[in-house]
Amino acid sequence: MARFDSNALPSVSACLLALLGACSSGSIDEDTTNFFEDDAATFDDTMGGDGSTGGTGSTGGTTGEAGESETAEDPCGGAVPCEDATDDIPITPGAGAGIVPSSAVDFTPWASAGGNPITGTDASEDLPGTEMNDTMSGLAGNDTMSGNGGDDVMLGGDGIDVLDGGAGLDNLDGGGGIDTLRGQGGADLLNGGPGGDTIEGGDDADVLIGEGQGDMLYGEGGDDRLFGDDDFDILDGGADNDTLWGGEGDDSLLGGFGADILLGEAGDDTLAGGPDDDVYIWALGEGSDTIDGDDSGTDLLWLGGVSPADFEALRAGDDYILVFADSTLRIVGFYAGENQIEAIQTEF
């Protein structure tokens, strides 16, 4: 099954090297709004309050104590009723893996970006670009860079930087430190680099790469692709049809409006597709995930590396859970009509 490998990010950096001639690698600006407040009201206390529940915490309906986990003796974690739910969601075996999107990134659109050199110093400074294609290097210091027009390359370097691409097909790399990257107009490539970064795509089809530490990625408009990578990341696709890869760590993925594809990958992730027709991708060994989405649209849960014989479907209070040998998948509020998955497919 093709899925995003966080170990492949060095190859992403290598691709950036090929494009930029340099590769630096950077987060949360003070104006950033936590998407839990606006777009994910469903991420509530049904998850035990930490947003990373995979079979722990209260479960909706009548439950055990918060924090009580599923065991072989009590797979429902104290929730009642605890009963077979095999017939409650249609399960189709042998679907194959064709539904899984490729995580390969085509860097061709940004190959010709950059040109006019604008280089900062080790001090903190404002670096405005021109209407031409600029290559801007902040070096050290806490820099603010504005691309304006043209297809720009912007390298934040070390420090706490703010990179604003403006119009054009821009290639932004935050570098080290806690950086804020804004793509604005045009289809942009935004790589936060190491550090807990905030990355905002803008209006078009952007590629957002969080790289190291806990990042916040906001696709906004356009059909965006968001890669969280390591640690606890927050990915919000925004409008249109987005694809979100959580990577390593216990991540929170919100599809937003549009037909989205959510891949939590490794770690115990929380996934919410939002309105419209969404697809949730999970594979054996990727952790215990919680689906806490929306009751609108026609949503599909795809299970990789397993057949229906490899898990048990149960009602646990108001939740629908799939119990595997060493993990669980929980659909929060399914029996309360809060979160509907209309179909489940298995690879085998």
> Which of the pair, 73 or 322, is modelled with greater confidence?
322
Residue 281 has pLDDT above 70, yes or no: yes
Over the stretch 101-149, which tens digit does the pLDDT of each residue have? 999 999 999 999 999 999 999 999 999 999 999 999 999 999 999 999 9
Lowest mean pLDDT among 46-60, 93-107, 143-157: 46-60
Written as six digits, the tokens of 10 are 């060095």
Residue 11 has pLDDT above 80, yes or no: no
Render the burial of 308-323: b for 16+ CB within 10 Å, e for the rest. beebebbbbbbbbbbb
Phi and psi of 47, rounded to 5°? -105, 15
Report DSSP letters for 70-107, one per residue. Answer: --SS-TTTT-BSEEE-TTTS-EE----STTSPP-----
Rounded average pLDDT over 50-54: 39
Over the stretch 158-212, which tens digit does the pLDDT of each residue have? 999 999 999 999 999 999 999 999 999 999 999 999 989 999 999 999 999 998 7
Confidence of residue 69 (pLDDT cuts 50, 70, 90): low
Rounded average pLDDT over 42-65: 38
Q: List the chain domain ranges.
A: 6-23+46-346
**Angle, CA 279 vertex, CA 50 and CA 9 arms, to 5°:** 70
Asked if 319 and 60 count as a contact pair (C-beta separation under 8 A), the reply is yes
Rounded average pLDDT over 7-26: 38
Confidence of residue 230 (pLDDT cuts 50, 70, 90): confident
pLDDT of residue 212: 76
- Find, among 322, 316, 235, the residue nearest to 274 by Cα: 235
Rounded average pLDDT over 28-51: 39
**DSSP state letter for 80:** B
Render the burial of 139-158: b for 16+ CB within 10 Å, e for the rest. bbbbbbbbbbbbbbbbbbbb
β-bridge mates for residue 221, sequence order: none
- Give the span between the Cα atoms of 297 and 277, in whole angstroms: 5
Asked if 255 and 274 count as a contact pair (C-beta separation under 8 A), the reply is yes
CATH architecture for segment(s) 6-23+46-346: 3 Solenoid (2.160)
pLDDT of residue 58: 36
Amino acid at the residue 195: G
Asked if 179 and 156 count as a contact pair (C-beta separation under 8 A), the reply is yes
Amino acid at the residue 72: A
